[in-house]
Structure 1
Amino acid sequence: MELLQLKYFKKIAEAQSMTRVAEEIHISQSALSKTIRTLETELGVKLFDREGKYIKLNENGKIFLKYVNRNLQSLEDAKKELSDYNSNRNQDIIIYVQAAMFMLPKIITGFNQKYPNIKFHISQKQFNKGENNYDFIIYIPSTEEINNKNSLTLLEEELKLAVSKNHHLSEKNSINLDSLSNEKFIGLPPYTKLRKTTDHYCNQAGFTPNVILECYDSPTILELVKNGMGIAFVPKYSWGNIEHQELSLINIHSPKCTRCINLSWRESEYISESAKLFKNYIVEFFSNLK
Structure 2
Amino acid sequence: MELLQLKYFRTVARLEHMTRAAEQLHIAQPALSRTISRLEVDLGVPLFDRANRQIRLNVFGKAFLAKVESALSSLEEGKKEVMDMAGLERGMISIATSALNRLSPAVAAFRERFPDVRFRIKQIAPAETYSISELLEQGIADLGFGPVSFHKPGIREFPVLQTEVYLALPHGHRLEHQCSIALEQVADDPFIEYKIGHPFRQVNDEISRKAGIQRTIICDVEEPAALDSLVQAGLGVAFVSRCKGDEVTQYALLPIECPDNKRSFFVSWNETRYLSEAAREFQRFLVEYYEDKQE
TM norm. shorter chain > 0.5: yes
Q: CA separation in 2, counterparts of 1:195 and 1:267?
A: 29
Counterpart in 1 of 2:256? 251
Residue 52 of structure 1 and its aligned partner are, at CA, apart by 5.4
- Output the aligned Cα RMSD: 3.9
* Structure 2 portions without partners, runs of 5+: none
Alpha-carbon distance change, 261 to 63 in structure 1, aligned in 2, over 3 angstroms: farther
Structure 2 matches for 1:1-290, cutoff 5 A? 6-17=6-17, 23-24=28-29, 26=31, 29=34, 32-33=36-37, 35-36=39-40, 38-39=42-43, 47-51=47-51, 53-59=53-59, 61-86=61-86, 89-99=89-99, 101-102=101-102, 104-105=104-105, 107-122=106-121, 124-127=123-126, 128=128, 129=131, 133-141=140-148, 145-146=150-151, 148-164=154-170, 166-170=172-176, 171-175=178-182, 177=183, 180-190=186-196, 192-203=198-209, 205=211, 207-216=213-222, 218=224, 221-222=227-228, 225=231, 228-237=234-243, 240-242=246-248, 247-253=252-258, 256-265=260-269, 269-288=273-292, 289=294
Bigger CA drift: 89-98 or 212-221?
212-221
Count of residue pairs brought into register by the alignment: 279
What code does the residue aligned with 1:260 have? Answer: S
Q: Deviations over 1:92-129 (max 9, x none)?
A: 43434421615632x23432333233244545433454
Alpha-carbon distance change, 83 to 190 in structure 1, aligned in 2, over 3 angstroms: same
Greater helix content: 2
TM superposition score normalised by structure 2: 0.72
Q: CA separation in 1, counterparts of 2:141 and 2:257?
A: 36
Residue 189 of structure 1 and its aligned partner are, at CA, apart by 4.0
Please say which structure displays the higher CA radius of gyration: 1
Q: Deviations over 1:164-185 (max 9, x none)?
A: 565344425342x455431211
Give the share of equivalent positions with the same residue, in percent.
29
TM superposition score normalised by structure 1: 0.73
Bigger CA drift: 15-24 or 63-72?
15-24
Q: CA separation in 1, counterparts of 2:44 and 2:258?
A: 62
Q: Alignment partner of 1:194: what SS?
A: helix
Contact 1:178 1:202 in 2 (8 A): no
* Structure 1 portions without partners, runs of 5+: none
